[in-house]
């Protein structure tokens, strides 16, 4: 069932405004706080029970993807989504649409981190990021492509846990000196033992198979002190996905991240050694709990010459990661100009050196 | 200008131009490639519940090796 947020004053559509951290009416500009909208989900749930036609159909596309069609609650147009879409827009009336069945039951997030960066700010930072990059295709930097930058709530599992580590082995301090005609290498060997525990909280692991894990890791960190209990109004005005990678499956990545941090801590205490030979390297992860949360990311997905390019920006901190396409024509032009320019300068330098008898 | 001068100019043109172009292209291409971060959990460590309970470093042995190298005077003679 798609639902939209309505203004308590005029009934117009509401959108979450990151700069205000409030919901603003698109028609009368009235701002709504979280408390003003607390009844929204309940009302929408009631509406859900009273509505007869919600999900129109579910079908498999030629490429194998599942396409789910809903009916827009305002204009009755068909809203086509994937099976994991939790919030989107109606392409006809442009109203934000939240699909309640995708954020309820097993898909109900327990927390949400609201967007802090507005679209304007995200666009400004994106344009700044593109500056000075000569090989970008014109189609990529065109305004109509950049405007496709979209705020998406990405599903994440947030893991807590403790890693107990117990490491021992031998480590060497190698010093080299010169005595007369000899190079003297002195190796002092020590027995090293490191044991302890490392506790982590809210380690995010991407729960969407559509978004590359390394890209999502690279726009971290998030400040989870701003994490809020989930409420559907936060989705208003953004796209959202629900998880399709289970908690158990995601835990494998979380465990690697926990253990990686334990290794960092151990290695930080061994920096005085030239080399370390570990004879025992035991790690045990305990007390693991997870919660399901939605985290804000500004994304621009483009396809250039058959290759996917993804630009992502942390919607809370503004941290950027971009995989950018390159125009071969621009590369050839740049290479030729530099070659001719630098080649001519080098040739003249060579001639001058020859004439002055330097070479 | 003799043939030797022309050859020098041509040589400098290709070597200088080629080298500078290669490094300029490398620097430009690098700007378009993402720098991906390591994916450990260091940002989310709870400092108050993290501790090293054992950190022992016991000296075991020393081993010394000596390798004869050419003396500086001999090196100069060569």
Mind listing the pLDDT tens digit for each residue in A90-118? Answer: 777 767 777 877 888 888 899 999 999 98
> How does the average pLDDT of chain A come out, rounded?
87
Share of chain B above pLDDT 90, in %: 55
- Residue B78 has a CB neighbour count (10 Å cut-off) of 5
Pick from A202, A217, A326: CB nearest B39 = A217
Cis geometry, peptide bond prior to residue A221 (ω within 30 degrees of 0): yes
Q: Which of residues 9 through 68 in chain B touch A, CB cutoff 8 A? A: 9-18, 20-21, 24-25, 28-29, 31-46, 49-68
Residues of chain B neighbouring A202 (CB-CB closer than 8 A) = 44
| Neighbouring residues of A245: CB distance < 8 A, sequence distance ≥ 6 | A206, A207, A208, A209
**Contact between B13 and A350 using a beta-carbon 8 Å cutoff:** yes
> How does the average pLDDT of chain B come out, rounded?
86
Q: Give the pLDDT score at A61.
A: 66
CA–CA dist B43, A200 (Å, integer): 9
CA–CA dist A359, A350 (Å, integer): 8
3-state secondary structure of A226: helix
Contact A155, A243 (CB under 8 A): yes
Q: Give the pLDDT score at A52.
A: 30
Share of chain B above pLDDT 70, in %: 86
Residue A78 clears pLDDT 80, i.e. is over it: no
- Residue A107 has a CB neighbour count (10 Å cut-off) of 17
Residue A51 clears pLDDT 60, i.e. is over it: no
pLDDT tens digit sequence for A122-164: 999 999 999 999 999 999 999 888 888 999 999 999 999 999 9
Question: DSSP string of A172-210?
Answer: EEEEEEEETTEEEEEEEEEEEEEEEEEEEEEEEEE--TT
């Amino acid at each position: 069932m798609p639902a939209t947020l309505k203004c308590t004053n005029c009934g117009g559509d509401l959108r979450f405004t990151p700069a205000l951290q409030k919901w603003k009416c698109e028609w009368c500009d009235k701002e709504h706080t979280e408390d003003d909208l607390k009844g929204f989900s309940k009302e929408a749930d009631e509406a859900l029970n009273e509505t007869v036609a919600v999900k129109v159909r579910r079908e498999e596309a030629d490429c194998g993807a599942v396409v789910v069609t809903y009916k827009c609650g305002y204009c009755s147009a068909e809203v086509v989504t994937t099976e994991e879409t939790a919030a989107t827009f109606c392409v006809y009336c442009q109203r934000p649409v939240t699909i309640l069945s995708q954020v309820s039951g097993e898909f109900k997030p327990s927390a949400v981190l609201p967007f802090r960066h507005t679209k304007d700010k995200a666009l400004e930072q994106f344009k700044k990021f593109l500056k000075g990059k000569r090989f970008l295709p014109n189609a990529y930097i065109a305004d109509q492509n950049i405007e496709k930058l979209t705020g998406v709530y990405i599903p994440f599992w947030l893991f807590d846990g403790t890693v107990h580590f117990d490491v021992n082995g031998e480590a060497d301090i190698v010093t080299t000196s010169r005595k007369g005609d000899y190079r003297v290498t002195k190796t002092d060997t020590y027995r090293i033992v490191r044991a302890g525990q490392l506790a982590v909280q809210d380690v995010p692991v991407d729960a969407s198979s559509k978004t590359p894990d390394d890209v999502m890791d690279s726009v971290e960190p998030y400040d989870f002190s701003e994490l809020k209990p989930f409420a559907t109004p936060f989705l208003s005005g953004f796209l959202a996905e629900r998880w399709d990678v289970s908690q158990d499956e995601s835990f494998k990545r979380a465990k690697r991240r926990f253990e990686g941090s334990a290794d960092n801590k151990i290695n930080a205490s061994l920096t005085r050694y030239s080399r370390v030979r570990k004879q025992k390297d035991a790690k045990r992860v305990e007390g693991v709990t997870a919660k399901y949360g939605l985290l804000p990311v500004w994304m621009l997905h483009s396809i250039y010459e058959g290759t996917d390019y993804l630009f992502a920006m942390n919607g809370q901190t503004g941290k950027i990661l971009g995989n950018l396409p390159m125009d071969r024509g621009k590369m050839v032009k740049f290479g030729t100009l530099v070659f001719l320019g630098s080649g001519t300068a080098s040739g003249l330098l060579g001639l001058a050196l020859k004439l002055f008898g330097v070479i | 200008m003799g043939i030797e001068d022309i050859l020098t100019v041509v040589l400098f043109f290709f070597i200088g131009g080629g080298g500078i172009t290669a490094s300029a292209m490398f620097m430009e291409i690098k700007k378009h490639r993402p720098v991906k971060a390591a994916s450990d959990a260091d940002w989310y460590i709870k400092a108050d519940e993290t501790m090293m309970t054992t950190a022992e470093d016991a000296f075991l042995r020393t081993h010394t090796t000596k390798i004869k190298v050419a003396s500086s005077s001999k090196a100069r003679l060569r």
